[in-house]
């Protein structure tokens, strides 16, 4: 005999079973004999009875197993989640309402029946929604045998909740099926007042949209399936041209909705699909009519893969069921595939094996007293190494759901035919057999999707060219003006405009022109918000800055105290910041509570134009408030213009300039009101063109306002710079002319002094000393004046990569002995020397003459201060050639003179230097 008693709670829909006795939620007289229970095999009562039966069989197996909980006897207590029996529960109870479960049931198990350590639930998702969170608060592990809503995969809200099957968040698996059939759109109808149907539809829609599947129809139906709503959904599906209709709901709702949504026209070319069997608990022929099975023929049903129930273990369990329930023969297909009893069986086994695992680590006494329940969240049951009826092994993922593949079944008229299945990760499908009988015509029909292109102006259209040109011109202009203001911030005209305010104003204009670029891309909700932010905030920044900047000038002209100037300026800057922050706050609020929607205008059969519109239930909205706010800012320019009439400052913008800008913006507002898309627009193509034309006109006016506001300042600065550069140029010309005249005068004085010196030398008898200067010490020089009096040159010195400036100089050729020869360039205060040798190169190039040194390897190194390259500039090529000929002639002449001296010194150009005694 076992030393301890442990109780496992079985929660089910026992309100569907007649003849039961209840103590609050506890069932006190449940029997396992089918004939004594008085239940309907195919009804809700039969479902509750069979789940109780399979739970008892699984518990008995554990009690008889000496390896699992060897010193514990497990008892079962059965609790109703819907109260006692009521007349319509057998046919109509579908989990609503959950008030009894979340109040009386939770209280009974948590506070009254404290011997219940864990719960196995055979409930609807709607009933578990609130109670499941309560089990987590009380730290009571809960295994759900049928609650398939994706909601329960959230382990933050349901940490003690787990289930031995995959929940109905089958979006990834459904996508693989649609992908195999080349389906790109599907309509979804869901049970809006059912937890599993609504939550599964949300999950499926999210997964399909993320994978590129379009969902043109996403509509909810109440459990009563009202005909007016059914007809409305039919019209939606027909208008959308969808050929695949998916129903997300419980079994009973699926049957009712599928029957009422049936449309012969749609059935001829489309496919009905769903996540649950369309066979209700009661006889569908009695509930709907004799044509029911004909109408649901071809229905495609996707569900977690049904395990093979033809195994020895499954057969043994089924034989036990027949023996325990009094010999009543349950159809094996219904027992395993319709009622899916394997889930309840595996729930009991996994729950008790988890208890055994935690008992071995701590103690049995702590287990039965609920002292170990804090360790019993879903992670305890993730990997028990248990091979169940549903799958081998039974391994849970991080959401507490069983990792398993899915399968697709087709209803052929009176039974399901399995066709294919996915893998556990929903990455592939594999066929069992061909599914030709499921489709009209024998193959998957077309999805009915017509690829509609969203029109946006491009460079091939006039609108696109204009928009791109205006946007680029505006952005380049504002960027250029931004740099202009920064670089000329010390100019009095720029200072008069106030540099900080001008930069802020330019930033506002920049935002408006950037917003225009968003029209070159098809509109989305994101671009709608970007347009609103950039246009509204940019305009507010521009207008508020202009108002505050000019009003502060008007105030300053009224003040007589200098100390008040800065105070007034900063007060108005704070005011400007407040005027900008107010629409920014409104825009943030609009983003949070946005009801912006895209309205599609059909231009052609395959082309549409989307534009942004606010969906509001009242006359005022945040977007409307922003519009009125900008109107008030614009009207504030009127008193601003009046105040500027008292300002007499030549460098400041006049009231006329601001008046012109005001008129431009009023014109823009009028155009925006006229060129507005309304529901009463005539031709739709014209309505699309109106939207684009409005933006083009408004931005042209903004560009014009920008130029008017900045033109006076730019022109004044540029004129001053032009005058300054012009004066500097003529000053340099005058200086050059003065230097040239002075140089010519010096040249004449030099010639006169040279002649006088020559006569003086002859008069003292230097001729007798001439031989002393022959040989290596003989010196001669010659002025190169035959071609030009002076020339323009620049030089590069030895060991220096930089050139000198261009200079005007006299050129002289010098010879000292037979081996030393050089050129000198005398530019008044600057004197440059270029050594001539056998390696010197003379290269005429147009009106230039280039002199270069090309020393050989054994040549001595030149001094650092000498020129290694000289460039001479002449008027034309002929003058260059004449100068080169003169230079070469002088070189030959001077070389000969130092070897064979003349009989008397040359007065004209050559001078003999003699040693004076």
**Residue 805 Cα distances to 51, 438, 641, 793, 847, angstroms:** 105, 93, 55, 8, 18
**Would you give the distance in Å from CA 873 to the centre of its chain?**
62
- Taking the C-alpha atoms of residue 167 and residue 186, their distance in angstroms, rounded to an integer, is 21
Confidence of residue 860 (pLDDT cuts 50, 70, 90): low
Q: Cis link prior to 393 (omega < 30° from 0)? A: yes
Rounded to an integer, the average pLDDT of 133-146 is 95
SS3 per residue for 196-256: HHHHHHHHHHHHHHHCCCECCCEEEECCCCCHHHHHHHHHHHHHHCCCEEEEECCHHHHHH
Lowest-confidence range among 631-640, 853-862, 877-886?
853-862
Average pLDDT over residues 419-444: 57
Q: Give me the percent of the chain exceeding a pLDDT of 90.
A: 26
Name the DSSP class of 861.
Answer: P
Q: Which string of b and e fits 429-458 if b means at least 16 CB within 10 Å?
A: beeeeebeebbeeeebbebbbeeeeebbbe
**Domain covering 776-895 assigned CATH 2.30.29.30 in the classification:** yes
- In angstroms, the CA 157 to CA 152 distance is 8
Could you give the angle at which helices 684-763 and 462-487 cross, rounded to 10 degrees? Answer: 40
User: Which whole number is the average pLDDT over 665-679?
Assistant: 64
In this structure, are residues 103 and 35 in contact, taking their beta carbons and an 8 Å threshold?
A: no
Residue 324 CA, chain-centre distance (Å), reads 63
- Residue 698 is predicted with a pLDDT of 85
Q: How confident is the model at residue 760 (pLDDT cuts 50, 70, 90)?
A: very low
Instruction: Assess whether pLDDT exceeds 50 at residue 915.
Output: no
Q: CB-based contacts of 555: which residues, under 8 Å, 6+ apart?
A: 568, 572
Q: How far apart are CA 615 and CA 619, in angstroms?
A: 10
SS3 614: strand
What percentage of the chain has pLDDT greater than the value 70? 82
Confidence at residue 218, expressed as pLDDT on a 0 to 100 scale? 94
Give the count of beta carbons closer than 10 Å to the beta carbon of residue 864.
Answer: 9
Determine how many CB atoms are found less than 10 A away from the CB of residue 369: 15
The pLDDT tens digits for 653-664 are 565 677 777 777
Q: Which CATH architecture has domain 170-305+409-431?
A: 3-Layer(aba) Sandwich (3.40)
- pLDDT given at position 406: 83
Name beta bridge partners: 27.
Answer: 22, 78
Which two tokens mark 19? 């003849």
Give pLDDT tens digits for 121-130.
999 988 999 9
Q: Do domains 4-165+308-381 and 170-305+409-431 have the same CATH topology?
A: yes
The CATH number corresponding to 4-165+308-381 among 3.40.50.150, 2.60.120.260, 2.60.40.10, 3.40.50.2300 equals 3.40.50.2300
> In whole numbers, what is the pLDDT of the chain averaged over residues?
81
Domain boundaries, the chain: 4-165+308-381, 170-305+409-431, 462-678+685-718, 776-895
What are the angstrom distances between the C-alpha of 217 and each of 186, 247, 561?
8, 12, 72
> Residue 689 and residue 682: Cα distance in Å, rounded?
12
CATH class, range 462-678+685-718: mainly alpha
Q: Do 159 and 393 form a contact (C-beta atoms < 8 A)? A: no
Provide the angle, in degrees to the nearest 10, between the axes of the packed helices 637-644 and 655-674.
160
């Amino acid at each position: 005999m076992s030393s301890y008693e442990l109780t496992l709670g079985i929660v089910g829909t026992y309100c569907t079973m007649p003849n039961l006795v209840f103590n609050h939620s506890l069932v006190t007289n449940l029997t396992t004999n089918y004939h004594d229970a008085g239940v309907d095999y195919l009804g809700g009562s039969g479902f509750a009875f069979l789940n109780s039966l399979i739970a008892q069989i699984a518990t008995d197996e554990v009690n008889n197993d000496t390896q699992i909980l060897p010193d514990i006897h497990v008892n079962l207590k059965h609790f109703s989640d819907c109260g006692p029996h009521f007349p319509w529960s057998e046919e109509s109870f579908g989990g609503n309402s959950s008030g009894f479960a979340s109040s009386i049931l939770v209280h009974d198990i948590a506070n009254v029946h404290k011997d219940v350590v864990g719960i196995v639930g055979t409930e609807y998702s709607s009933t578990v929604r609130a109670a499941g969170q309560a089990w987590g608060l009380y730290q009571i592990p809960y295994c759900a045998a049928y609650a398939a809503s994706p909601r329960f995969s959230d382990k933050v809200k349901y940490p003690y909740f787990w289930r031995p099957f995959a929940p109905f968040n089958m979006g990834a698996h459904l996508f693989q099926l649609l992908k195999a059939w080349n389906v790109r759109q599907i309509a979804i109808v869901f049970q809006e007042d059912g937890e599993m149907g609504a939550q599964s539809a949300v999950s499926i829609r999210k997964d399909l949209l993320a994978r590129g599947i379009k969902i043109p129809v996403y509509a909810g139906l109440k459990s009563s399936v009202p005909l007016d709503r059914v007809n409305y959904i039919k019209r939606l599906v027909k208008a959308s041209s969808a050929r695949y209709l998916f129903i997300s709901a419980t079994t009973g709702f699926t049957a009712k909705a599928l029957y009422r949504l049936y449309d012969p026209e749609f059935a001829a070319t489309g496919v009905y699909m769903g996540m649950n069997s369309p066979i209700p608990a009661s006889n569908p022929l009695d509930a709907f009519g004799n044509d029911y099975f004909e109408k649901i023929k071809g229905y495609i049903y996707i569900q977690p893969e049904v395990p093979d129930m033809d195994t020895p273990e499954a057969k043994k369990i089924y034989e036990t069921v027949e023996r325990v329930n009094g010999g009543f023969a349950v159809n094996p297909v219904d027992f395993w595939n319709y009622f899916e009893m394997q889930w309840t069986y595996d729930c009991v086994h996994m729950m008790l094996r988890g208890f055994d695992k935690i008992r071995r680590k701590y103690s049995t006494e702590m287990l039965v007293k609920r002292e170990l329940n804090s360790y019993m969240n879903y992670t305890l049951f993730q990997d028990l190494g248990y091979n169940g009826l549903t799958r081998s092994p039974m391994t849970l993922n991080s959401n507490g759901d069983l990792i398993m593949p899915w399968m697709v079944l087709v209803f052929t008229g009176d039974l399901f035919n399995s066709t294919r299945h996915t893998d556990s990760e929903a990455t592939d499908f594999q066929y069992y057999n061909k599914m030709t009988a499921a489709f009209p015509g024998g193959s998957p029909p077309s999805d009915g999707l017509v690829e509609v292109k969203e029109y946006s102006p491009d460079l091939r259209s006039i609108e696109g060219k204009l928009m791109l040109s205006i946007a680029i011109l505006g952005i380049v202009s504002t960027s250029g003006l931004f740099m202009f203001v920064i670089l000329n911030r010390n100019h009095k005209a720029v200072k008069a405009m106030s540099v900080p305010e001008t930069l802020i104003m330019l930033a506002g204009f920049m935002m408006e022109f950037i917003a225009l670029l968003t029209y070159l891309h098809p509109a989305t909700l994101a671009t709608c918000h970007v347009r609103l932010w950039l246009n509204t905030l940019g305009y507010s920044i521009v207008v508020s800055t202009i108002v505050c900047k000019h009003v502060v000038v008007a105030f300053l002209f009224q003040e007589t105290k200098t100390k008040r100037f800065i105070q007034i300026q900063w007060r108005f800057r704070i005011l400007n910041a407040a005027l900008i922050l107010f629409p920014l706050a409104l825009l943030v609020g609009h983003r949070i509570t946005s009801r912006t929607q895209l309205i599609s205008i059909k231009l052609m059969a395959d082309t549409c134009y989307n534009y942004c519109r606010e969906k509001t239930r009242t006359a005022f909205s945040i977007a409307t408030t922003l519009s009125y706010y900008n109107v008030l800012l614009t009207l504030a320019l009127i008193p601003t213009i009046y105040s500027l009439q008292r300002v007499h400052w030549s460098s400041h913008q006049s009231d006329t300039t601001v008046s012109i800008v005001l008129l431009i913006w009023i014109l823009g507002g009028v155009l925006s009101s006229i060129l507005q898309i309304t529901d009463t627009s005539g031709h739709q193509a014209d309505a699309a063109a109106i939207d684009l034309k409005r933006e083009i006109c408004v931005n042209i006016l903004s560009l014009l306002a920008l130029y008017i506001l900045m033109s006076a300042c730019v022109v004044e600065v540029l004129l001053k710079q032009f005058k300054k550069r012009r004066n500097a140029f003529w000053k340099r010309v005058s200086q050059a002319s003065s230097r040239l005249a002075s140089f010519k005068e010096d040249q004449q004085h030099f010639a006169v002094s040279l002649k006088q010196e020559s006569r003086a030398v002859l008069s003292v008898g230097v001729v007798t000393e001439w031989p002393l200067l022959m040989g290596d010490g003989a010196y001669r020089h010659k002025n190169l004046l035959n071609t030009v009096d002076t020339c323009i040159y620049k030089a590069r010195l030895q060991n220096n990569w930089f050139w000198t400036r261009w200079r005007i100089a006299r050129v002289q050729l010098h010879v000292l002995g037979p081996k030393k020869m050089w050129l000198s360039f005398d530019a008044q205060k600057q004197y440059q020397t270029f050594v001539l040798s056998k390696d010197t190169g003379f290269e005429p190039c147009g009106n230039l003459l280039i002199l270069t040194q090309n020393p050989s390897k054994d040549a001595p190194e030149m001094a650092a201060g000498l020129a290694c390259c000289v460039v001479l500039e002449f008027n034309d090529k002929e003058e260059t050639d004449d100068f080169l000929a003169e230079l070469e002639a002088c070189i030959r002449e001077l070389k000969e003179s130092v070897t064979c001296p003349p009989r008397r010194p040359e007065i004209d150009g050559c001078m003999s230097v003699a040693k004076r005694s």
